[in-house]
């Protein structure tokens, strides 16, 4: 069986899917984004429409009720949604990384029970990795699961910046089952943790951008979980189970970067033809033309790198270098284009009347989400050496 994101569909099928996504965006997202984003309101009605479209099962195999889309198609969906409102793409991204961990590594019982519910959106969630004192260095986590007999574990610890944790129902929870293990990753395990006694969403975290979507701190206080919720049924495999999903996540973040880079370009091209200074449209001024040219080049290069990463992922081979390159370039392109768009729009770019200020606030998250861009550079360099030994 192919892994999530590795299916094949025809060009005609992809075009039909993307056409329906565009209709959904124009009908349900664009008319509501300004009000929901500025009030930081969770887009409940949009989520319901996403469930109807099957987006919570986008990369889940059709065997379990998902759409079984290839990552190449999924990344184009994310690009389109992010161009309208980046937060909406985050609601499905974290959920699908969690689903991928279960589909790739779960037991038959875990797959049969959870994946159909994940695909329908009946059960939604995300991944709980980051902690207050641990960001990129996941092996430094302190949340611990202690086994109680053969049937359950008791978990204590906390997690930070967890997407879908307030409005969702479950998380893929990374813990230490053996804090003394050497190397450290051999003591890490991944659980399917449903909300219940001892699992507390302690607070919703306020953010500069990325509004509307819930990012929360979680506290686990003597949280009891059945042993059959250990993904794969074997301790010590958690980090490896997570890392494969992060490739998917980084391609998603790259696609978000493409979406913002393209949207800020489109807004700037349109505005520059209507705004006039010194008797002519500002698009006729060389200073503006230079910015538009750079913005267009960045957006297109980011798209091509993201498509290349998606194609590499779809082969089933290791794609962390390709995903890292795409994530690095596309997210930097988003930030650079957002700043140039604000300069082109002048005072209006700083106003809530135009979408540029929202994109300008959203874009920086991409530089640090799913692994900072500094880490991506290290991954790329290490893979270059590993793939090209002297």
Average pLDDT, stretch 365-390?
94
pLDDT of residue 138: 87
pLDDT in tens, 27-58: 999 999 999 999 999 999 999 999 999 999 99
Which residue has better confidence, 316 or 124? Answer: 124
Give Cβ neighbours of residue 309 (< 8 Å, ≥ 6 apart).
Answer: 250, 251, 254, 319, 322, 323, 325, 326, 327
- Predicted confidence at residue 5, as pLDDT, reads 62
What are the distances in angstroms from CA 215 to CA 45, 91, 118, 194?
Answer: 19, 10, 20, 17
When pLDDT is averaged across residues 162-171 and rounded to a whole number, the result is 96
Please, what is the Cα angle at 125 between 80 and 3, to 5 degrees? Answer: 70
> Which of 300, 308, 301, 339 minimizes the C-alpha distance to 324?
308
Residue 188 has pLDDT above 80, yes or no: yes
Q: Which residue do the tokens 């990369």 mark? A: 59
Q: What is the number of residues in the chain? A: 390
- pTM for the model: 0.94
- pLDDT > 70: percent of the chain: 99
Burial class (CB in 10 A: 0-12, 13-18, 19+), 27: exposed
Residue pLDDT, tens place only, 208-233: 999 999 999 999 999 999 999 999 99
The pLDDT confidence band at residue 6, using thresholds 50, 70 and 90, is low
Residue 110 banded pLDDT, cuts 50, 70, 90: very high
Residue 3 has pLDDT above 70, yes or no: no
Catalytic residues: 370
Residue 133 is classified by DSSP as T
Q: Which domains does the chain have, with CATH numbers?
A: 11-123 (1.10.540.10), 126-236 (2.40.110.10), 240-387 (1.20.140.10)
Widest pairwise Cα distance in the chain: 80
**What is the pLDDT averaged over residues 305-314?**
95
Query: In sequence order, which ranges of the chain are alpha helices (DSSP H)?
Result: 11-24, 33-39, 44-53, 71-84, 86-105, 108-120, 238-274, 286-314, 320-345, 356-368, 373-387
What does the block give as tokens for 114? 């959870």
């Amino acid at each position: 069986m192919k892994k999530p994101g590795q299916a094949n569909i025809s060009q005609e099928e992809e075009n039909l899917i993307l056409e329906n996504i565009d209709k959904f965006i124009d009908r349900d997202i664009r008319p509501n984004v300004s009000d929901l984003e500025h009030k930081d309101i969770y887009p409940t009605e949009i989520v319901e429409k996403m469930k109807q479209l099957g987006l919570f099962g986008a990369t889940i195999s059709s065997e379990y009720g998902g759409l079984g889309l290839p990552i190449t198609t999924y990344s184009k969906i994310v690009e389109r949604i992010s161009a309208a409102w980046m937060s909406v793409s985050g609601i499905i991204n974290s959920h699908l990384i969690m689903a991928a961990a279960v589909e790739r590594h779960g037991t038959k019982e875990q797959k049969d029970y959870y994946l159909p519910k994940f695909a329908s959106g009946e059960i939604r969630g995300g991944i709980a990795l980051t902690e207050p004192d641990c960001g990129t260095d996941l092996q430094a986590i302190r949340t611990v699961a202690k086994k109680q007999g053969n049937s359950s574990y008791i978990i204590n610890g906390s997690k930070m910046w967890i997407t879908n944790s307030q409005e969702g129902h479950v998380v893929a929870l990374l813990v230490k089952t053996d804090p003394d293990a050497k190397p450290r990753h051999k003591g890490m395990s991944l659980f399917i943790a449903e909300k219940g006694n001892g699992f507390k969403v302690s607070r919703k975290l306020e953010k500069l951008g990325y509004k509307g979507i819930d990012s929360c701190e979680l506290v686990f206080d003597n949280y009891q979980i059945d042993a059959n919720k250990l993904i794969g049924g074997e301790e010590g495999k958690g980090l490896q189970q997570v890392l494969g999903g992060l490739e998917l996540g980084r391609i998603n973040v790259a696609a978000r970067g493409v979406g913002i880079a393209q949207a800020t370009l489109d807004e700037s091209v349109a505005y520059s033809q209507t705004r006039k200074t010194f008797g002519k449209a500002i698009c006729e001024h060389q200073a503006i033309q230079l910015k538009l040219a750079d913005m267009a080049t960045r957006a297109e290069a980011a798209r091509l790198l993201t498509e290349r990463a998606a194609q590499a992922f779809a082969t089933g081979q290791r794609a962390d270098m390709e995903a890292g390159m795409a994530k690095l370039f596309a997210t930097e392109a988003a930030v650079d284009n957002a700043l140039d768009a604000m300069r082109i729009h002048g005072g209006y770019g700083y106003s809530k009347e135009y979408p540029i200020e929202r994109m300008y606030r959203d874009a920086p998250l991409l530089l640090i989400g799913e692994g900072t861009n500094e880490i991506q550079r290290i991954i790329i360099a290490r893979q270059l050496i590993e793939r090209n030994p002297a």
